[in-house]
Amino acid sequence: MCAKSYYSGTVSTGEVSITMDVTQDISRYHVIIVEDIIDTGRTLHDVVEKLKERNPLSLKVITLLDKPSRRLVKFEADMSLFTIPDHFVIGYGLDCDEYYRNLPYIAEYDEGK
């Protein structure tokens, strides 16, 4: 499943778009969502609600990075590896307008520099 709310730049649009959905029946499976970063929580909240409607045996969310200070909806991951401050980060799969995704590390992105 692929979902997004960032389309360009460093600010979420607030509109969650499911760009690729799960086609398999998940009602006989334990589902784990592995996320790169949780920011406002909107995208993951919507994805989790959509998947819960499909009655999985269980549903857990694990994230590499968590920014709870940016949360706009009530949402917590079942496991967060790192809690970070409110900085836009790039690298190691995280991008800004499709750039910097392939950096072999995670770095703070500063638009002004």
Would residue 110 show up in a list of annotated catalytic residues for this protein? no
State yes or no: pLDDT of 10 exceeds 70: no
Mean pLDDT of 32-56: 94
Output the pLDDT for position 2.
Answer: 86
Residue 94 has a CB neighbour count (10 Å cut-off) of 18
This prediction has a pTM of 0.82
- Report yes or no: 59 and 48 within 8 Å, Cβ to Cβ: yes
- Domains assigned to the chain: 2-87 (3.40.50.2020)
Write down the H helix ranges in the chain. Answer: 42-52
In 3D space, the residue among 81, 46, 86, 47 whose CA is nearest the CA of residue 64 turns out to be 81
- pLDDT band at residue 30 under the 50/70/90 scheme: very high
pLDDT tens for 47-85 read: 999 999 999 999 999 999 999 999 999 999 999 999 999
39, 66, 86, 110: which one is catalytic? 39
State yes or no: pLDDT of 24 exceeds 80: yes
SS3 content of the chain, % helix, strand, coil (to 5): 10, 35, 55
How far apart CA 30 and CA 59 sit, in angstroms, is: 6
